[in-house]
Amino acid sequence: MKLLLATLLVLRVHAGTLEIRLTSGGRPTAARVYITNAAGEPVKVAGVVSYLRRQETHLVVDGLLRADLPPGIYHIRAEKGHEYGVAKRTVEAGATDVVVSLEIPRLHDMNRRGWYSGDTHTHRDPAGMALLARAEGLNVAPVITRHVGDSRPAATPFPSSHLIAIDASHVVTQQNQEVERLAGGFGAVLLLNMAEAVEKPLASLHPLDVEFCRRARAAGAFIDGEKPIWKNMPVLVALGLVDSIGIVNNHFHPNGMLLDAERYGSMERDKPVYHTVSGFAQWMMDIYYSFLDCGFRLPVSAGSASGVMPSWPGYERVYVKLDGAFSHTEWFRRLKAGASIATNGPLLDVAIGGKPPGAEFPIDKPREVAVSVEVHSRHPVERVDVVFNGEVLHTAPVHQARWKGVLKIKLTGPGWLTVRCFEPTGNTIRYAHSSPYYFTRNQKLPVNASAALRWADYIDKLGVEASPGKFPTPEAHERAQQILRAAGRIYREAASRSETR
């Protein structure tokens, strides 16, 4: 995307202070800034917000940066999230002051189309989160302020207030919690917008995540499943305790992948391809699709775990379509309704009959559906897929950074339909994925019996894994077994009502 990148210049300077001014649309802006020396080593600047996690090292600059640097060549790059291009300069520091102005181009304005972004999973300092949200163009920035589970240290005081308003369309939320029990536990779950603090769990499995989710649901909180591969997901999905799930999540990083999974307590991968970069994403999608195949309506979300993982806030983000003016409460309501698209790169806009994902259409006979798709990306997108009931019905080759089309899809019966797009796979994978559209007969979705029985059998295995020694009392163990049995019955009952597709 040469037209989207500023021309690389070499400025000769003889010594003194380097001043960097950041703008977008001609106005000062906050952004993520990378400065490296001639050897490619990242440069730290005292007094400036910095981030260092494995391969990801950057500064966060609020419009203006002044730095005294030793003489030498320095490469400067400024970025602002997926809706923006990249600005670059190379300077030779010497003996006089120099001012470098970097204009960061905007690729696409999702807000103007009614799409508002959020990252459901960040672990950054709440006091600095407003700056990070502005730097990345995040409209909704929940920050996890209570993280319990495993051997984590004693929890800090839970915030008494929830909102940090940035402006009319950007907000940070603070009363958000993660219950995470990895090896030996059943995974993690995010409890967002929950004023009641969760206390530290007593054991790796006690209480089950179901207990926390029920408390959150009673308190009106939003429950995000974080990622499909956790062992607890079949149980929480069956019991209706997941409002969205991270189809694009913190295993995907800007400079690589976290391909480990089972060592953290995830489900087991049953295909060798799932251990590859592209296969890992397919594993996420295949598990997610299997829940949809059981007749559940499950919106997609995205979260970076920035603060723990080598990603910035909003590298993984979910866009939610709003009908009117922005509000964070409406954003979560529409996310729960399924009007969402998750991404870690391409900007995807999808409509059927003028409606965003999450919409329901009746179908009582075969019909043709026109799927309107628009893609904007910093890099060329390889393809767009339309998936119906887990099967790719149509693939459109793209090989462009901007693409628009109407895909005609023939449906023979009821089911769910999603749209996804991919950039070419390298040492990481970048893709966008919509929540489903639902095509129902008598307002019902079909059930795939094999998918439902798969999860019923899996929950039986969880029951064996949840042995008495992992619970403080026989009564607590029996309560956990009752919960697991109830979830298993839901899948078996669904299988008994299944239709052949």
Residue-wise pLDDT tens digits, 56-100: 999 999 999 999 888 889 999 999 999 999 999 999 887 678 889
Alpha-helix residue ranges (DSSP H) falling in 320-473: 328-337, 449-465
Amino acid at 470: K
H or E segment and range at residue 216: helix 209-218
Q: What is the pTM of this model?
A: 0.95
The rounded mean pLDDT for the chain is: 94
Backbone angles phi, psi at 29, to 5 degrees: -145, 155
If asked whether residues 43 and 184 sit together in one domain, one would say: no
CA 87 to chain centre: 25
If asked whether residues 58 and 141 sit together in one domain, one would say: no
**Strands 27-28 vs 72-79: parallel, antiparallel or unpaired:** unpaired
Per-residue tokens: 277: 């970069």
If asked whether residues 39 and 171 sit together in one domain, one would say: no
Measured distance CA(314)–CA(240) in Å, rounded: 27
Beta bridge partners of 301: 246
Per-residue tokens: 479: 């309560």
Label residue 155 by pLDDT band (50, 70, 90). confident
pLDDT confidence of residue 501? 44
If asked whether residues 131 and 178 sit together in one domain, one would say: yes
Average pLDDT over residues 465-485: 97
pLDDT tens column, 304-356: 999 999 999 999 999 999 999 999 999 999 999 999 999 999 999 999 999 99
Which DSSP category does 21 fall into?
Answer: E
- Domain for residue 349, yes or no? no
- Domain for residue 443, yes or no? no
25: pLDDT strictly greater than 50? yes
Backbone angles phi, psi at 416, to 5 degrees: -115, 150
Label residue 499 by pLDDT band (50, 70, 90). low
Structural domain including 118 reads 111-343
If asked whether residues 202 and 319 sit together in one domain, one would say: yes
Final residue of a domain: which of 74, 103, 132?
A: 103
Amino acid at 405: G
Label residue 497 by pLDDT band (50, 70, 90). confident
202: pLDDT strictly greater than 90? no
233: pLDDT strictly greater than 70? yes
pLDDT confidence of residue 231? 97
Label residue 394 by pLDDT band (50, 70, 90). very high
Measured distance CA(164)–CA(175) in Å, rounded: 11
Which of these, 226, 225, 229, lies nearest to 304 by C-alpha position? 226
- Domain for residue 429, yes or no? no
Beta bridge partners of 347: 376
- Domain for residue 477, yes or no? yes
- Domain for residue 219, yes or no? yes
Final residue of a domain: which of 319, 343, 367?
A: 343
Based on the structure, what is the number of domains in the chain?
A: 3
39: pLDDT strictly greater than 70? yes
Cis peptide bond prior to 70, omega within 30° of 0: no
Measured distance CA(45)–CA(462) in Å, rounded: 50
Give CA separation, 211 vs 174, 218, 433, in Å. Answer: 22, 11, 30
Give CA separation, 294 vs 182, 389, 492, in Å. Answer: 26, 10, 10
- Per-residue b or e along 398-411, where b marks 16 or more CB atoms closer than 10 Å to that residue's CB: beebebeeebebeb
182: pLDDT strictly greater than 60? yes
Final residue of a domain: which of 103, 131, 161?
A: 103
